[in-house]
A and B are shown apart, each in its own frame.
Chain A
Amino acid sequence: MSEKSRGLSKVEEICSQRSGRAKELKDEGKKIMGYFCIYPPLEMLSALDLLPYRILGDMREPITKADACLPTVVCPFDRSALDLGLKGKYDFLDGVVWAHVCEVGEKTAHVWRTYLNPAYFHFVDIPHTIHKPAQNQFVQQLKDFQKTLMSFTGKKLTSEMLVEAINAHNEQRSLVRKLYDLRKPDPPLISGSEVIKTLKAIMSLPVKEGSELLREVISEVGERKDGVPFRPVRLLIWGSIIDDTPLIEMMEELGANVVMDDTCVGSRAFFPDVKLTPDPLEGLAYRYLVDLKCPRTFKESTYGETKKDYLTDLRSRFSYISDYAKEWKVSGVVLQSVRYCDIHGYEVPGLGDYLDSVGLPHTYIEHTYDERSLAPLRTRIQAFLEIIRS
């Protein structure tokens, strides 16, 4: 990696060969731990000096190997990630940690373990609810994870090491929130595409290096004069994973700035901090089980309620989105999902009802995690932007 590049040009450089830095560090003796989705607690990896490396797909690469072990009617993102694994593109990983993020993710974990057989693999189960017994169960799951990590690294993982790692990741999260503040002006100081690339880059770096990169980007963007052009519509994008830029670029071309997101290479992965608790695993369990906002977890307005009020339920689940909309001055919401994503699919009508109740225009689009499937969506996005403008 070039030593001269800084800030956004460094982000571009990392994204053009995302595994480059990890491979360099591996050559220096560092162990690289792949993780899938946003639920494995990264602090436990960083505390043991492992590099957490997010396993992603590649929407620009056709799936040619994964069909032999995952059917075509399941999540195309999972299939793409597995496909890259089967093609040897994750061979540099020393181990993999996977969590029970969704049903397809859970099966993909076992398939990955079978066919790629990494030297270390751990599957963390995650309860579906957030009741106190579920939180306790998740703490126990993290204790089992801790045991296998210590056995793999031959190191003891102490509370002090965990606290230090929690602080380092919280610091990074605070920097990401600062990065997102740069999207609040009109026009925003940083584009939606640049944000995705930046986050994708830091998901492949050790936490402190990632934070340093964020500082550089924030400083550069804060000073630049020729940043993002004014566009009449400000969008929030919600839904399943977006780990590349074509969809955002299409919206930008059509006259919208994507100024906020609720996706998992985005605010969903970074916004909540871990609270420091006497047993750091409890704070981690709370953050990852309760505070993360993915629809994979069942949440309700009042635990044990005997009568459900629809709007109250919707408010308890989605009011953070209207908070985002106010803070980032959003004029419309694009609900998007990869096809065959059940947990997002079931959410769409309810979220639509909620957005109606707060007067936010919205549309729903579905794609198959490839550039080709985005083309037919162009007209729909265009029509949506026209509705907002009118």
Chain B
Amino acid sequence: MAEEKKKKAIDRLKAMYPLRARIDEVYKNSVKAMREGKPTAWSMVNWWEGDPIIMAMGVEAVYPENYGAACAAAGAAPAYLERAGADGFPDHICGYARNCIGYTARMKDLGEIPPEAPMGGMPKPVLLMSAGSLCDARYKWFQALGRYLDAPVWVLELPHLGVKEGLMEGAYDQAIRFMVEELREFVGFLEKLLGKKMDWDKLEDISNDIIDMNRIWYETNELRKARPCPMHSRDFWTCMTGCLYPAGDLKALKKMYQDLYDEVKYRVENKIAACPNEKYRLVFAELPPWHSLKFFDRLAERGWSFVVESWAYHPPKPIDLSQVKDPLERIAKFTYQWFAGYFEESEKQGEQMGYFGYPYLEYARDWQCDGALLHPLLSCRTATNHLMYVQDRLIQKLNVPSLVASGDIVDLTLFDPEDTLRRAEAFEETMDHYKEVRKKEGLGW
């Protein structure tokens, strides 16, 4: 007798699988192209500020942050972390960075890609494209790699204005002017580095595809406001990579995001839930424990549906850039929109942390969340700095409680899923309590 197949706690999107496979394939193709002699850049996530430019210049990019998650998942990270420690890097700095530093040190020792490196490894780069966005590690880490590599470092600039200062007269225009000037310098630098001229038509095409792909991705996430939620955070985390680390044939990738959108829309129209037993709707901040993602299935079994997450990895609120003629200005405005797109609303609400802080209030309200799961990372200031603040703002302003569970993105020993599950059970009573409080205060969910 055929045993009835146990229903999965999270109903993953069908369109996610080819997208994930495509992302993996694009990565492997990049590695292959690099091995065949194509210039390679190691790049920090840069929110589309530098990606379209190096793509238009024919440079293949790999992303050591993303590679850190891959090493963690494949079990290769501990040896690299240990090597970074042995070379004198303090153990509190970013887990992705220590993984990359250890990897690079080993590559230097061997004179080639370490044989145990997951996914074919990262080939020697001609450029380290770092970014000043959000995180000090994003430029200090690549600067520190000078110990092992002779590749130059370029730091992409992104102004980090406060909410009030960012809304001062002229501040926006000045920020964009600065970014455009820096990007023009970057193009000049790349032309010198690679001995070739920028293909401006190609840049135009690539930047438009990236902007459009993000629009589709944004609209997909908007659909998740529906009850029941049609897409779980696990699908978000799998799919975000295509947008955050654009590579390969962007038109084909865009089509995959469109397929994803269509499937989510179909689910909304037919009330198909990602978490069939949706009882609690939650927001997650910031990066998940990549090594323990099945933990979310166990929460889903309890009816926990993660409906929105990770401000830093969400696409920007769409803005009309069709009238902007200069592709560098369009890129600058798009990236800055990601960073500062919540400022006006934040100011109206009297909130001072317009990025990383206020967006979670908007998420909790608009996605109608019962609670938040906050995940401080012991080796990542960026994903952690603001979490106590977010916890306080959510409860003070919206009566949405938070559960704090510490861990790490790379080091699995720092996360205790069993203890978190035990605390989750108790947290359900808190969520129930605040649901009543919100109802009494007329908050609408």
Residues of A within 8 A of B (CB): 67-71, 73-74, 100, 102-104, 106-107, 109-111, 113-114, 121-125, 127-129, 131, 133-134, 136-137, 140, 144, 147-148, 295-296, 298, 300, 304-310, 313-314, 337, 339-340, 342-343, 345-350, 352-353, 364, 366
Contact = CB atoms under 8 A, between A and B. Distances in A.
B155 A350 contact: no
B152 A103 contact: no
Interface string B142-164: 01101101111101010111101
Contacts of B171: 144
Contact of A134 (B157, B162, B356, B357): B157
B89 A298 contact: no
A140 B171 CA distance: 8
Instruction: For the complex of A and B, list the 10 residue pairs with the smallest distance between their C-beta atoms, beginning with the closest.
Output: A123-B162, A346-B140, A128-B132, A133-B181, A349-B88, A137-B178, A107-B385, A110-B353, A345-B90, A113-B352
11 contacts: A73-B378, A122-B165, A300-B153, A304-B185, A304-B192, A306-B193, A307-B151, A308-B146, A308-B150, A340-B92, A350-B147
Contacts of B87: 349
Contact of A136 (B90, B149, B152, B178): B178
B147 A307 contact: no
Contacts of A308: 146, 149-153
Contacts of B97: 346
Contacts of B357: 110
B165 A144 contact: yes
A122 B161 CA distance: 10
A133 B150 contact: no
Contacts of A127: 132, 157, 159, 178
A125 B354 CA distance: 14
Interface stretch (B229-237, B270-278, B387-395, B436-444): B387-395
A53 B159 CA distance: 26
Contacts of A347: 140, 144
A180 B155 CA distance: 35
Given A110-B162, A110-B357, 7 more contacts: A71-B385, A127-B157, A306-B152, A309-B150, A349-B87, A350-B143, A364-B88
B441 to A, nearest CB: 22
B94 interface: yes
B350 to A, nearest CB: 9
A133 B158 CA distance: 12
A137 B136 CA distance: 19
Contacts of B90: 337, 339, 345, 348, 366
B189 interface: yes
A107 B356 contact: yes
A346 B89 contact: yes
A340 B152 contact: no
B134 interface: yes
Given A128-B157, A129-B155, A304 B189 contact: yes
A114 B135 CA distance: 21
Contacts of A313: 146
B174 interface: yes
A350 B150 CA distance: 14
Contacts of A147: 168
B381 interface: yes
Interface string B347-361: 000011100110000
